[in-house]
Structure 1
C-alpha cells in the first residue's frame, strides 16, 4: 500500500476518533442538562449508534494503519513517542469501552423513565457522573496521542 494513502487513512481515523468523541460528549452533556428523560433517551440512542459505527471503526483501523506505517518506516513500536502513543491508546481504550456500556445503560434508563413519564432516576445520574469522569482520561489520552503524532518528540 502507498505510504501517503496509509498515512491519510491513519490521520482520518484520528480525526474520526477525536471528532466523534467531541460530538458525543457535547450532545450527551447538552441532553443531560435539559433533564428531559425523553430527550436524553433519543440523544443517547443516536450517540450509541454513532459510537458503534464511527468510533469503533476508527478504533479498529488506527492500530492497523499505525502498525503498517511503523513497519514501512522501520519505526520501533515500543520506543519513544510511538511507544508513549501506544500506551495512551491502551489508556483511552480502558476508559472508552466502559463508556460505551454506560451510554447504552443511560439510554435504557432514560427510555424507561420517559415511558413512565418520570424524571431521570438517581441510577441515571450516578452513571452520568461516571461517564463524565471516564471521559476525562479517555479523551485526554486521545488529545495527547494526537499531539505525539504531530510533534514526534524525542522521548
Structure 2
C-alpha cells in the first residue's frame, strides 16, 4: 500500500478520534445542562451511535495503519517509542470501554425518565459525574 495513503488514513483516524470525542463531550454537556430528560435521551442515543460507528472504527484503523506504516518504513515493532505509544493506546482504550457502557446507561436512564415524564434521577447524575469528571477519589 502507498505510504501517503497509509499516512492519510492514519492521520484521518486520529482526527476522527479527537473530533468525535470532542463533539460527543460538547453535545452531552449541552443536553445535560438543559435538564430535559427527553433531550438528554435523544442526544445520548446519537452519542452511542457516534461512538460505535466513528470512534470504534478509528480505534481499529489506527493500529492497523500504524503497523503498516512502521513495516513500510522498516521501523521494528521493538522500537522503544513505538512500545510506549502502543501501551498508551491500550490504556486509552481501557478507559474508553467503560465510558461506552456509561453512555448507554445514561441514555437508557434518561429514556425511562422521559417516558415516565419525570426528572433525571440521581442514578443518571451519578453516571454523568463519572463520565464527565471521572470516579471519585
The DSSP-based 3-state class of the residue aligned with 2:6 is: helix
Q: Deviations over 1:61-108 (max 9, x none)?
A: 111000111111122334333222211111110111111111011000
2:59 aligned residue: 59
Whole-angstrom distance in 2 between the partners of 1:33 and 1:82: 40
Normalising by the residue count of structure 2, what TM-score does the alignment of the two structures yield? 0.93
Instruction: Flag structure 2 segments of 5+ consecutive residues without an equivalent.
Output: none
Could you tell me which residue of structure 2 aligns to residue 29 of structure 1?
29
CA distance in 2, matches of 1:110, 1:43: 10
The C-alpha deviation readout for 1:15-64, integer Å capped at 9, x for no partner, is: 00010000001111111111111110000000100111111111111110
Aligned to 1:128: 128
Q: Please give the root-mean-square deviation of Cα atoms over the aligned residues, in Å.
A: 1.1
Instruction: Tell me the SS of whatever aligns to 1:50.
Output: helix
Which position in structure 1 is the counterpart of 2:91?
Answer: 91
Q: Quick one: structure 1 residues 68 and 126, their matched pair in 2 at CA, closer, same or farther if it must change by over 3 Å?
A: same
* Aligned pairs (5 A) from 1:69-88: 69-88=69-88
Superposition TM-score, scaled by structure 1 size: 0.83
2: CA distance between counterparts of 1:80 and 1:131?
32
Alignment of 1:114-125 (within 5 A): 114-125=114-125
Aligned equivalent of 1:108: 108
Aligned length: 134
